[in-house]
Amino acid sequence: MNKPRARMMGLWILGTVVLVVPTMASARQLHRASRELELARSRVQQTVTMARHVMELRSTQQTVAERKRPEQDVIARVNECLAACGIPSDRFGGLRPEADSAVGNQGPGTSANSRLRRQSVLVMLNDLTVAEIGELLTYWQSHQPLWTTARLELLHSRDQAMSDYYSLNLLVSATYVSEGESPTS
């Protein structure tokens, strides 16, 4: 091969390399940037979803009773819920009063001697399947607006014969106006 032709071939190869290498590097950066953009879009969508959920929760209102509810009222409500969900009443493991306390920060313009209080009761249920728990919680939420779920605790059965069953400790709370004070509008 003659020298000018070899030199031309070398320049052509060098030119190709000079053009191809940066193009490949740019393509790699573009791909990385596309992945980062998609991840950012996903995070924005999750944030929007969470923000909507927070706004929904903030807009919900809790029902306030005019007076404290007796324990028998809660027992009757639990038994009604169990019957409606087709769960045997012998799964009811008992009821334990947890707290009866003043409701904190009631907002601007509320008098310091406001009588709003929150009564909490722990409802104990035994030997429930996951499906029964879901049905029970859904029914409770839609049919017991006064008693809102404050906390729930699932305890898995250690007995091999009952491995698909759980005990449910459900803390429910009701807000009420204590005696001697009438509810305000």
> What count of Cα atoms within 13 Å lies in the side-chain half-sphere of residue 108?
0
* Alpha carbons 146 and 144: distance in angstroms, whole number: 6
Predicted pLDDT of residue 112: 44
The dihedral built from the CA positions of residue 42, 46, 52 and 55, taken in this order, carries a sign that is negative
User: Tokens in use for 138?
Assistant: 């859904």
Provide the CATH topology of domain 64-177: Alpha-Beta Plaits (3.30.70)
User: Tokens in use for 151?
Assistant: 């906390």
108 or 91, higher pLDDT: 91
pLDDT at 84 over 70: yes
pLDDT at 147 over 80: yes
Domain-wise residue ranges, the chain: 1-60, 64-177
Predicted pLDDT of residue 62: 59
* Alpha carbons 87 and 79: distance in angstroms, whole number: 9
pTM: 0.56
Predicted pLDDT of residue 109: 53
Predicted pLDDT of residue 183: 43
Q: By the 8 A CB rule, do 114 and 106 touch?
A: yes
Question: To the nearest whole number, what is the mean pLDDT of the chain?
Answer: 81
pLDDT at 14 over 50: yes
Q: What percent of the chain has pLDDT over 70?
A: 79
In a 3-state reduction of DSSP, which class is residue 127?
Answer: strand
Give pairs for 80-86: CB < 8 Å, separation 24+.
Answer: 80/143, 81/136, 81/139, 81/140, 81/143, 81/144, 82/125, 82/136, 84/139, 84/143, 85/132, 85/135, 85/136, 85/139
Q: Name the burial class of residue 173, with classes exposed (0-12), middle (13-18) and buried (19+) by CB atoms within 10 angstroms of its CB.
A: buried
